[in-house]
Amino acid sequence: MLKKIPEKEIRQQVKKIAQNIANEYQNQEPVLIGVLNGVFIFLSDLVREISIPLKIDFVRLASYGSKNVSSGKITLTKDIELSIKGKPVIIVEDIIDTGLTLSYLVRHVKGREPESVKICTLINKLERREKEIGIDYWGFEIKEGFVVGYGLDYNEKFRYLPYILSLEIKD
């Protein structure tokens, strides 16, 4: 494993994203919808840096089959509990990879008739993108590799790391 993104750089990017969100939503109360499980550390740090009132909810989706390759079938296992009708929504992800899960989630959220839907992610991974999705706020772009740490996991391991590493997976 090689250290890919140091803790200090992550903190700087989280603050930058938070400032951008606070500036854009000065006179509003956005609803941030975190995609569990990987987003919990990023979202927690992000909301502490956002200087405006906001609401938080979570969803959980499953799309991975075996060996961390998407099965293609997306299942919503925890839905939004807050009413988002007529409200600005920001979907917050840890990493956007193929875009398939996020595309499904955006359609689902838009079905609840929010005022707007924006996308925020810590990591925008370009290597395997299948669905193009406009990302409004992001911390880092990476081209390839499997990353862990700062909430990102491999078989529920490595989430606790305060930095992000590129992990070599051997079959």
Per domain, the residue ranges of the chain are: 2-23+30-60+76-167
Task: Please report where in the chains the tokens 């078989």 appear, as a residue.
Answer: 155
* pLDDT attached to residue 155: 92
Q: Report d(CA 14, CA 20) in Å as an integer.
A: 10
Instruction: Classify the C-alpha dihedral 34-37-39-43 as positive or negative.
Output: positive
DSSP 8-state symbol, 97: S
Give the model's pLDDT for residue 157.
95
Per-residue pLDDT, 126: 85
Name the pTM for this structure: 0.92
Contact 99, 131 (CB under 8 A): yes
What local confidence, expressed as pLDDT, does residue 171 receive?
A: 63
d(CA 67, CA 81): 31
Tokens of 7: 């803790």
Find the DSSP H helices in 7-99. Answer: 7-24, 40-49
Catalytic residues: 97
Q: What is the spatial distance between Cα 40 and Cα 73, in angstroms, rounded to a whole number?
A: 23
- Reading the chain (171 residues) residue by residue, the pLDDT tens digits are 556 899 999 999 999 999 999 999 999 999 999 999 999 999 999 999 999 999 999 999 987 655 555 566 899 999 999 999 999 999 999 999 999 999 999 999 999 999 999 999 999 998 888 988 999 999 999 988 889 999 999 999 999 999 999 988 776
Instruction: Give me the pLDDT at residue 67, please.
Output: 54
Q: Which fold, 2-23+30-60+76-167? A: Rossmann fold (3.40.50)
Q: How far is CA 159 from CA 25, 35, 58, 124, 152, in A?
A: 30, 15, 18, 18, 5
